Structure 1
Amino acid sequence: MTAELFGSLNNVEIDQRYVDGGWRVVHLKSINEADLVISLAGTERGTGTVIYSAEALGKPVFVVPIFGGASEHAWRDFKRFYTSEEVAVLQRPWRESGTWAGELLDAAVDFARRNPIAKVRASDAVSSVIVSLSLVVGWIAALLRVDGGLIPPLVWAYAMILFATYLGVMLRHSIASGRYDWRRRLYDFFQAILVSFAVFILAEGVNVFVTDKGILLDRESVRLVGWRLSVIGFFGGFLLDEYIKSLEKRARKALEG
């Protein structure tokens, strides 16, 4: 039966693991591996245990109270974590809107990214300060060295854009959630590399197309250009999630149309 069920889930990636320790251990490990917990109805022994175990583990829990059960009982404890828009979606009768499920999932994803339930660890806060200061110092060093030395100016210019973009990405996630572990930092650094490279190539490509000359190769103007592109990179990193969400909404509307 399990093999047949897994085989029928064509759009779901199954990561099947075998863990010793009994049902309760397996249950806790499953919750700890989750990126998001969504609860609907349920019993106090089953769903209620999952809800409060997830909270203790710092996992984002999206409680849907309208179906009753343990989820409705937990609502009074979890409502404080949600924004007014999220509360409106969670309390809206599902029969009133044909798009309720999609709106619920969108709100749940946004909530998981913000995750106000996560407990802020001192190590996360200290590492955020250290990384931020290192990026600022690196940006200033690149600004001062951009038109001198043996390293080509475009390398220093790209470093300026990269440092500024990563600062923007870090600021976005620091505002959204106090918890910021090394996995999130590594993923954000990958995002910063892509965004800064896109800014770099786009700016240089436009200048080559318009003036037949890449201004980032010019030592006289590269410092000013690097500074300006750093501003673009910073806001690009900061607003990246909003842009991706807008693309997702447009794609969904196009598919529904």
Structure 2
Amino acid sequence: MQQKDWDRISKNYYPEIISPLSKGVKNPLYKEIAQLKFTDYAIDLGTGLGRLLPILSKKFKTVTALDYSEGMLNHAKKYSKPNITFVKGDIRNLKDFYNKFNLAVAINSIIMPSSKEIDKSFREVFKILKKQGKFIGIFPSMESFLYYGFLTFQSELRFNSESKAKQSTIYLTDSKKFDYLFGTYDLNGKQKALYEFELILRLKKAGFKNIKIQKVVYPWKEIKDAGFGNFKKFPELWDWIVIAKN
């Protein structure tokens, strides 16, 4: 999505965006941050409303909150502390911060639809980390969308012929708005979701090593209001969380 899209969403962010920081979401992020040993400098890339800043400001001596949406930064400043600096900037150009941070966090902020811009963003994140620095990123999972489509199709088969079940599944999942080959979707602005294999390959290409991938799990009851069906008898939907070192 473009800057104007995030400025618009900033006025009503959480009703529009399912957040991995919401209460009830099973997110390994907090444990990973708590275990960090080098805690001088951290940056929150695409800080959004700044919900991670209270945790980072307690753990790190200096925190930079970066976003290219003025609207988001204005919201994030309600978490202002003496050790937090707010910067309007772009993840695709971080040359002012090279070799500066022990930790870089990006929560659903490296999701631009351009493949080249995704790779450029990962290279920039790699460059801003100090030696033994760590990157923690959360990304929409394309596998999760496919899984949800499968569950929906299986549910529709219980009441319809196969051809009708396919038609209703396409409608119920907004499938026509998804490009599963290139991993993009357009539900209020075109953006990127990532496959697990894709994340690993892109991060290695950027220079990262020791890449670990886990799931951020969304209980069915937490995402029901966002328009998802409730398949409570089945495993939940997820985002990817990546922990990588330079």
Structure 1 or 2: more helix by fraction: 1
Structure number with higher strand proportion: 2
The structure whose RCO (Cα within 8 Å, separation 6+) is larger is 2
| Shared fold per TM-score greater than 0.5 | no
Shorter-normalised TM range: under 0.3
TM-score of the two chains, using structure 2 as the length reference: 0.27
Q: What TM-score results when the alignment is normalised by the length of structure 1?
A: 0.26
